[in-house]
Amino acid sequence: MEYSQLVEDIKETSERFTIISGFVDVYIDQYDNRIIKDLNYWILCGKANDEMIRESMIDYEPEVDKEGCYQFEAVLKYERPDYGRIISGDYFEVVWSSFKLDHTFQQRERDLKLDEILDFPF
């Protein structure tokens, strides 16, 4: 394996993309929109500030079929503004994502109640 090429590829990729992984709560509203809340993530590769990542993920609507806490991975692509038009500054667009259900909110509530019942002082 040519490690110098690997380093160059990672440098080039991290200039244009940010790869994140973490956990997130997804709610479904009365209009069947998926809403992301309680975003907890870490950066696997790339450069992005917290505000830009949160903004891109909050605006993203994941393809999930039920409410709950999901483990996710996402690739965010860095987009520069088109200075020929008046638009906002730099931003990230979610170009790929994978969401796996960790637990539903009902499971979380049940687990919390069990913890309360079984957590007595010795």
What average pLDDT does the chain have?
A: 89
- Cα–Cα distance between 35 and 59 in angstroms, integer? 8
Strands 68-79 and 91-103: antiparallel
- pLDDT score of 34 more than 70: yes
The answer for residues whose C-beta is within 8 angstroms of residue 61's C-beta and 6 or more apart is: 33, 34, 35
Identify the pLDDT of residue 32: 94
Identify the pLDDT of residue 17: 95
- pLDDT score of 85 more than 80: no
- Cα–Cα distance between 87 and 70 in angstroms, integer? 32
- Cα–Cα distance between 24 and 70 in angstroms, integer? 5
Question: pTM score, two decimals?
Answer: 0.81
Per-residue pLDDT reduced to its tens digit, 91-109: 899 999 999 999 999 998 9
Burial of 77 per CB tally in 10 Å (0-12, 13-18, 19+): middle
Instruction: Name the pLDDT band for 84 (thresholds 50, 70, 90).
Output: low
